Each structure stands twice: as C-alpha cells, then as structure tokens.
C-alpha cells in the first residue's frame, strides 16, 4: 500500500485529474474513529483516500493512498473540479453590496459551477470545488478501504508525533 503526503500526493492526484477532469467527486467527513477528517476523492480512473489532520487551519497535514472507487451516486448536482474563473467575476462575487447583490452573487456562483471542469494552467484563475462535507460514517468502506483507513490514521498519528513532540 502506497502512502503519500504533501507535494508528492498533490502531484499524483493532479496528474490523475488532468488525464480526465470530468466526473470527479470530493467528499469529506469527520472520522468516526480517529479524530481526523476523512476524504474520498474519486474520478473516472480510480480514487484516493485522504486523512486530514484539521479543516480549520490554512495548511493542514494531509496523507493519502490510492484506493478502489466507491460505488455510489454523485454527492451533489455539480461534479468536483477546477473551473475557469475570470478575475472580474471573482471580484464581483467578493464585493457584492446593495439591492439585488444576493441574486447576482448566486447567479455568478451558478454560472461558475455550470462550467465544465478543466485542467488548470499556471497563471490563470480558477474556482476549485465543490467539496461535499458530510456527517461521520456516511461513507461506507469496503474491507480493503478500511485497512487503508487504519494505515492512514496510524501514519497521521506518527507524523504528528514527529512534527509536534507534545502531540499524543
């Protein structure tokens, strides 16, 4: 079983996404057993199981492993992916004030979400998502996925103890 973190994990996942950017989902939930957050990122070619130490800091520690894809219906009406986001639309979405701004904001967000996911290119702006946050235990794991989950939790605890000696 291959466990990756940081730059190597991001690179491998982006390579997989770049081969076929349509049909992805990204589901996150609090782990029912480890106190971390679990994520299942799946696409047409397979899936990744991730263990995230926190959703509440700018640079969380994330480790992951390739896994078999879950057999399930899509988590929401819009697939996960990168969508082109013109800078002027980003400014409009962030700065809307006054009468009618809520409707314009919702219309702007929907216009971005309805776009086809694309492969990101350096120097351009994108919206990434959506990520679906669900309650613990909402994702059913196979036996092999449960083993990956146990290994990821164990490795996350080990890494946290190495980086933060006062941890657990």
Q: Are residues 90 and 120 in the same domain?
A: yes
Weakest-pLDDT range from 4-8, 46-50, 133-137: 133-137
Is pLDDT at 48 greater than 60 in this prediction? yes
Q: Are residues 51 and 35 in the same domain?
A: yes
Q: Is residue 126 within a helix (H) or strand (E), and if so which, with residue range?
A: strand 126-129
pLDDT of residue 142: 84
Question: 131: which residues sit within 8 A by CB, 6+ positions away?
Answer: 26, 27, 28, 80
Q: Are residues 91 and 19 in the same domain?
A: no
Q: Identify which of 79, 31, 36, 92 has the alpha carbon closest to the alpha carbon of residue 61.
A: 36
Q: Are residues 59 and 20 in the same domain?
A: yes
Could you tell me what percent of the chain has a pLDDT over 90?
A: 56
Q: Are residues 70 and 139 in the same domain?
A: yes
Sign of the dihedral defined by the CA atoms of residues 67, 168, 159, 5, in that order: positive
Can the peptide bond before residue 130 be classed as cis, meaning omega within 30 degrees of 0? Answer: yes
Which residue has tokens 């770049």? Answer: 18
Averaged confidence pLDDT in the chain = 87
31: pLDDT confidence band, cut at 50, 70 and 90? very high
Sign of the dihedral defined by the CA atoms of residues 23, 29, 33, 35, in that order: positive
Q: Which residue has the higher pLDDT, 167 or 99?
A: 167
| Residue 31, both tokens | 């782990």
Total of domains in the chain: 2
97: pLDDT confidence band, cut at 50, 70 and 90? low
pTM: 0.85
Q: Are residues 71 and 98 in the same domain?
A: no
Report which DSSP code applies to 80.
Answer: B
Q: Are residues 31 and 2 in the same domain?
A: yes
Q: Which residue has the higher pLDDT, 143 or 95?
A: 143
Per-residue pLDDT tens over the stretch 49-91? 999 999 999 999 999 999 887 655 555 689 999 999 988 888 8
Q: Are residues 118 and 134 in the same domain?
A: no
Q: Which residue has the higher pLDDT, 140 or 157?
A: 157
Q: Are residues 74 and 5 in the same domain?
A: yes
Q: Are residues 103 and 50 in the same domain?
A: no
pLDDT of residue 98: 54
Range of the domain at 91: 82-128
Cα-flanking dihedrals φ and ψ of residue 2, to 5°? Answer: -95, 120
């Amino acid at each position: 079983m291959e466990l990756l973190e940081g730059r190597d994990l991001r690179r491998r996942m982006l390579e997989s996404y770049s081969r076929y950017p349509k049909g992805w989902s990204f589901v996150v939930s609090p782990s029912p057993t480890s106190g971390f957050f679990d994520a299942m990122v799946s696409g047409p070619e397979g899936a990744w199981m991730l263990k995230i130490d926190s959703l509440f800091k700018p640079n969380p520690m994330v480790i992951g492993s390739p896994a078999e894809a879950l057999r399930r219906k899509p988590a929401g009406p819009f697939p996960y992916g990168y969508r082109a986001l013109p800078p002027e639309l980003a400014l409009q979405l962030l700065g809307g004030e006054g009468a009618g701004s809520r409707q314009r904001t919702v219309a702007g967000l929907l216009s971005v979400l309805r776009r086809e996911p694309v492969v990101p290119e350096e120097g351009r702006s994108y919206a990434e998502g959506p990520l679906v946050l669900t309650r613990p235990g909402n994702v059913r794991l196979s036996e092999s996925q449960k083993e990956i989950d146990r290994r990821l939790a164990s490795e996350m605890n080990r890494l946290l103890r190495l980086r933060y000696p006062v941890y657990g």
